[in-house]
């Protein structure tokens, strides 16, 4: 089966037992625009429907896995603009409502519940990441069951330091980084190194950059060899455990706080812009300092 997408590549290995979905907007550093999010959903559901597929790898083409959500590329603006070329989802799913309700519903559909859906396929998913994994890139990666990373990877949610927001919409931070580290990284905008992420258990393997794809496939082959019923029930036993520890409910609660945060900025700004600007105390995007890893003996 060949499906062609504008922003994804889909490859099959081992007679279809392993499906690799690759984000393919390298010039935009794999920024996730609406069309890409819709395509990921389509590709994930196709892999889910395919009984031959056992493991799904989610990777990124180019210099990095994903720079996060697309905050206004020309392509994204064209997809939003009213007219025959407008994506249907910019007229529906809350887009036809007003105010905080509209913003909340659009983010619920395209940043929140879709991410949860990608956490829940009846298959094992492996995020194959490299370079900086920023903000919304973390969400995509965290939705996967396992994460393998290249040696050049770092992880950063900069929306607190750069946009006056309390983290991205799918608030996995305390579960993935630990509660205090989550606060530190969100408050400073510093990144976590791949070695630290490995030490925490967030990352399972660290591979050389030029061997990442091949060695991720080898790792996926080991997982694919596990009987599918065992693989699924292992996944579910762990996911249901963290859900009973409060993961699912905490995500819902944090999403509402995220919407409160957007509403604050929308109320403060005459034009309704729903995030902080430089006049609110965050750096101008063009002059913002580079992201750097949190270091144990450096204050800033």
Pairing mode, strands 146-150 and 55-60: unpaired
Q: Total residues at the site for Zn ion (CB under 5 A)?
A: 1
Q: Minimum CB separation from Zn ion for residue 180, in Å? A: 24
Residues in contact with Zn ion, shown as a per-residue x/- string from 166 to 195 under the rule CB under 5 A = ------------------------------
The nearer residue to Zn ion, 208 or 285, going by C-beta atoms, is 285
Q: Minimum CB separation from Zn ion for residue 182, in Å? A: 17
Three-class SS of residue 142? helix
Q: Minimum CB separation from Zn ion for residue 169, in Å? A: 5
The nearer residue to Zn ion, 107 or 157, going by C-beta atoms, is 107
Three-class SS of residue 179? helix
| Chain centre distance of CA 201 | 18
Q: Per the structure block, which two tokens stand in for 103? A: 């913003």
The nearer residue to Zn ion, 8 or 139, going by C-beta atoms, is 139
Three-class SS of residue 151? coil
Residues 6+ apart with CB under 8 A from 283: 161, 162, 289
Q: Minimum CB separation from Zn ion for residue 153, in Å? A: 24
Q: Minimum CB separation from Zn ion for residue 32, in Å? A: 12
The nearer residue to Zn ion, 7 or 262, going by C-beta atoms, is 262
Region binding Zn ion by CB under 5 A among candidate stretches 8-16, 103-111, 145-153, 154-162:
103-111
The nearer residue to Zn ion, 38 or 107, going by C-beta atoms, is 107
Residues in contact with Zn ion, shown as a per-residue x/- string from 106 to 145 under the rule CB under 5 A = -x--------------------------------------
255: closest CA among 114, 51, 127? 114
Q: Minimum CB separation from Zn ion for residue 33, in Å? A: 15
Backbone angles phi, psi at 18, to 5 degrees: -120, 130
147: closest CA among 160, 156, 135, 138? 138
The nearer residue to Zn ion, 75 or 107, going by C-beta atoms, is 107
Pairing mode, strands 55-60 and 132-134: unpaired
**Cα–Cα distance measured from residue 178 to residue 169, given in angstroms and rounded to the nearest whole number:** 17
Site for Zn ion in 24-83 (CB under 5 A): none
Helix (H) or strand (E) holding 238: helix 228-244
Q: Minimum CB separation from Zn ion for residue 102, in Å? A: 12
Residue pair 161/184 in contact (Cβ under 8 Å)? The answer is no
The nearer residue to Zn ion, 61 or 166, going by C-beta atoms, is 166
125: closest CA among 220, 10, 250? 220
Region binding Zn ion by CB under 5 A among candidate stretches 58-66, 92-100, 102-110, 197-205:
102-110
CA distance from start to end of the chain: 52
Region binding Zn ion by CB under 5 A among candidate stretches 101-109, 204-212, 220-228, 234-242:
101-109
Q: Which residue matches tokens 């989610």?
A: 58
Q: Minimum CB separation from Zn ion for residue 290, in Å? A: 24
Residues making contact with Zn ion (CB under 5 A):
107
């Amino acid at each position: 089966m060949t499906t062609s997408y504008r922003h994804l590549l889909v490859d099959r290995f081992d007679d279809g037992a392993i499906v690799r979905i690759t984000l393919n907007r390298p010039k935009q550093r794999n920024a996730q625009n609406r069309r890409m999010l819709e395509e990921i959903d389509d590709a994930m559901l196709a892999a889910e429907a395919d009984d031959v597929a056992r493991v799904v790898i989610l990777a990124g083409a180019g210099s990095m896995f994903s720079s996060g959500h697309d905050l206004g590329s020309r392509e994204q603006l064209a997809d939003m603009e009213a007219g025959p070329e407008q994506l249907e989802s910019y007229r529906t799913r809350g887009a036809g409502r007003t105010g905080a309700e509209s913003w909340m519903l659009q983010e619920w559909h395209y940043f929140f519940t879709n991410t949860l859906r990608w956490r829940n396929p009846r298959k094992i998913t492996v995020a194959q990441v490299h370079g900086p994994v920023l903000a919304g890139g973390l969400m995509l990666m965290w939705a996967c069951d396992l994460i393998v990373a290249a040696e050049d990877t770092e992880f950063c949610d900069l929306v607190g330091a750069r946009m006056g927001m309390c983290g991205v919409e799918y608030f996995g931070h305390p579960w993935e980084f630990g509660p205090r580290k989550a606060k530190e990284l969100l408050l400073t905008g510093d990144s976590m190194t791949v070695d630290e992420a490995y030490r925490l258990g967030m990352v399972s393997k660290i591979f050389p950059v030029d061997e990442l794809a091949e060695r991720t496939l080898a790792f996926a082959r080991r997982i694919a060899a596990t009987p599918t019923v065992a693989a699924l029930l292992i996944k579910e036993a762990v996911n249901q455990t963290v859900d009973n520890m409060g993961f699912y409910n905490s995500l819902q609660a944090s999403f509402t706080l995220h919407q409160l945060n957007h509403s604050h900025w929308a109320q403060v700004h005459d034009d309704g812009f729903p995030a902080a600007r430089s006049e609110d105390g965050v750096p101008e995007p063009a002059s913002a300092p580079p992201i750097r890893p949190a270091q144990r003996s450096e204050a800033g």
